[in-house]
Amino acid sequence: MAEKALSRRGLLAAGGAGLALPALGPRAYAGGRGPFRADLVVYGGTSAGVIAAVQMRRMGGTAVVLEPTRHIGGLTTSGLGATDTGNTSAIGGLALEFYRRVYAKYHGTPVTDDSPARYTFEPHVASEVFADLLAEHDVPVVLGARLRSADRRGDRIRLLVTDDGRAYEGGVFVDATYEGDLMARAGVDFTTGREGNAAYDETLNGVQHRDKHQFVHPVDPYVTPGSPASGLLPGVAADALAPDGTADEAIQAYCFRMCLTQAADRIPFPKPAGYDPMRYELLLRYVQAGWRGPFYTTHQMGGGKTDSNNNGAFSTDNIGFNFGYPTGTYAERARIHAEHVDYQQGLMWFLANDARLPESVRAQTAAWGLPRDEFTGSGGWPPLLYIREARRMVSAYVMTEHDCRGAVRAADSVGLASYTMDSHNCRRLVVDGVARNEGDVQVGVRAPYGISYRSLTPKRAQCTNLLVPVALSASHIAYGSIRMEPVFMILAQSAATAARMALDRGGAVQQVPVAALQARLRADGQFLEWPPSEPGEIVVDNVSATGVTSAGTWKSSTAISNYYGSDYVHDDNTGKGTVWMRFRPELPAAGAWDVALWWTADANRATNVPVDVEHAGGTQTYTVDQRSRGGQWVVLGRHTFAAGTAAAVRVRNDATDGYVVADAVRFTPAAGAS
């Protein structure tokens, strides 16, 4: 295939339709004249891969991105437009810039350090943003670059060779694939499946038989109802349900994040060539038992399009059909990919057309279809399967449930994660004679938490010039929280920064000074601890031993995540006009201080919470909407205070229209204040 110059249009064509291979530019590899050389060789053109290369270029190094498919941007550009963010305030650096660039695309505004971010978007918009970043930073990209081998010299990777025989030599390598393919070829330890709870003293790992995305009506799993001898329906495994916490080889289900539309020119759901209605017999029985949906999500992304994901007991997740994917050959993965296409396209055709279904179900689904202006090279169908987990590295630090819950805190944090500990179902079994799903876990985290730099680096004895920001070292359940696209971008920026520092020092990535790395990351806008601290800040928490007085009844809670400290308190939406809490700091000096409030947001919160700031000139009252902007410091204003304990902030519940939360107050010396 002839190469062509890298451009926004050329890259989009290659990524969206699997067309031309972008050139490597003036430094292009010339067959027979030696390998292409870059400071950083990135294997995997996912969102993380793009960000790693851009960060290396911003630090003055060279980089190349090798993508084994013909699609750039990973799931961010393959239908996952409803970004799983957790606490958006914990997203910084290039990841935040990406989402600010998305906002700018929609609104035609410039991107600045304080411009808005947008976390929902159409696939082609995300593709345009990545194309802009790659073109602006002159990053060469090679599509269809499947890894053939990794040539090592001692404990270092010297070069990669792709299936077409080309070689790519680097100083440092980043494995940005969802599968961890380079990591495995380099001889680095990894695992797949679910550890048992006993492995890391966890509670949410291994087999988990719960009620999330579960059958709410009993459904017979046998080909002939009531007859086990007739065999099981397709998709139901014969395995026995093991005790909760048991280790196994299962991984959470994959699906495609469909982009759907109700536009008049939508493409109707195609009927797969090998369509078999028996694959959906279990769903038919579920509907006949009374289930009327939802059968998938329809999150709006803009342009009348959705990001449609799994929803319910029988949906787009092809449960139990992906166990061979993580370590499979390219041919085996292609077969699994095709199996998932057939399953999910067949599911949508079934829901829209099968005459045995209620007309309301068919009409509801048939009102949707595939967009003609997305994924034009694959008929509107997303090109990438959602690989929710595959290989996971095993390094000197394994992220676990304890990190997610804040029970332990890594001192070498290089980024934050904040999403729920989330695993989709892994198996569909027979339990007490009916079909049951197993494996779905959805347990929130208290607050954003740090990810250890050691979880991105292999054990030093195994490889000293490789960083793994996607298939990083984590247990199954911890990975379920970390595995979000913004986090992958955050960790990729941190990995590339460490790579640049390792190159400059001529040492191993494991020897990069953590303090220096963290200083550079903070300078580049990364958040490494939560809540972010400000120089000279004074925080008064609701449980502080001194500085807090109250009236009325406050109830302690941890029900809503992203609270400050050990808990928050609320008024139970009662006793209006009689409940208040005063936060009184001991300020070391008189002068101007910025006052900020922290609360947890929820739909049941009050929109009109009165907050009094008592300062040297009197009292100013602010009205706070606690249904939004939770889990972060919200600055109320700047005031002049006397030294000592004259300053105070009082949260009241007078005439409020919902639950009132009191959590913490921060006083920060204003710039130039003594």
Share of the chain above pLDDT 90, in %: 91
Q: Taking residues 374-390, what's their average pLDDT?
A: 97
- Judged by DSSP in three states, 645 sits in coil
Q: What is the DSSP string of 256-283?
A: --B--B--TTPBPPP--TT--GGGGHHH
Give the separation between CA 75 and CA 49, rounded to whole angstroms: 12
In the structure, what pLDDT confidence band is assigned to residue 17 with cuts at 50, 70 and 90?
very low
- pLDDT at residue 31 greater than cutoff 50: no
Residue 563: CA count within 13 A, CB half-sphere: 22
Q: From CA 572, how far away is CA 558, in angstroms rounded?
A: 13
pLDDT score for 320: 98
262-290 tens-digit pLDDT = 999 999 999 999 899 999 999 999 999 99
Alpha-helix residue ranges (DSSP H) falling in 38-111? 47-58, 93-107
Inform me whether the pLDDT recorded for 439 exceeds 90. yes
Beta-carbon count within 10 A of 390 CB: 24
Find the largest Cα–Cα distance for the chain: 84
Helix (DSSP H) and strand (DSSP E) numbers for the chain: 13, 33
Q: What are the phi and psi torsion angles at 659 (to 5°)?
A: -65, 140
Residue 2 is predicted with a pLDDT of 28
> What integer is the mean pLDDT of 335-356?
98
pLDDT at 33: 57
Q: Check whether 512 has a pLDDT greater than 90.
A: yes
> What is the predicted pLDDT for the residue at 565?
87
Q: Is the pLDDT of residue 217 over 90?
A: yes
Please tell me whether the overall predicted TM-score, pTM, comes out greater than 0.75 for this model.
Answer: yes
The confidence score (pLDDT) of residue 646 equals: 81
What tokens were used for 353? 């057309």
For residues 46 and 134, give the distance between their C-alpha atoms in angstroms, rounded to a whole number.
12
Task: Look over the chain and give the mean of its residue pLDDT values, rounded to a whole number.
Answer: 93
Distance in angstroms (rounded) separating the CA atoms of residues 70 and 11: 10
DSSP structure string for 518-560: HHHHHHTT---SSSPP-TT-EEEETT-SSSEEEES--EEE-SS
Secondary structure of residue 352 in the 3-state scheme: helix
- Banded pLDDT at 21 (limits 50, 70, 90): very low
- pLDDT for the residue 32: 40
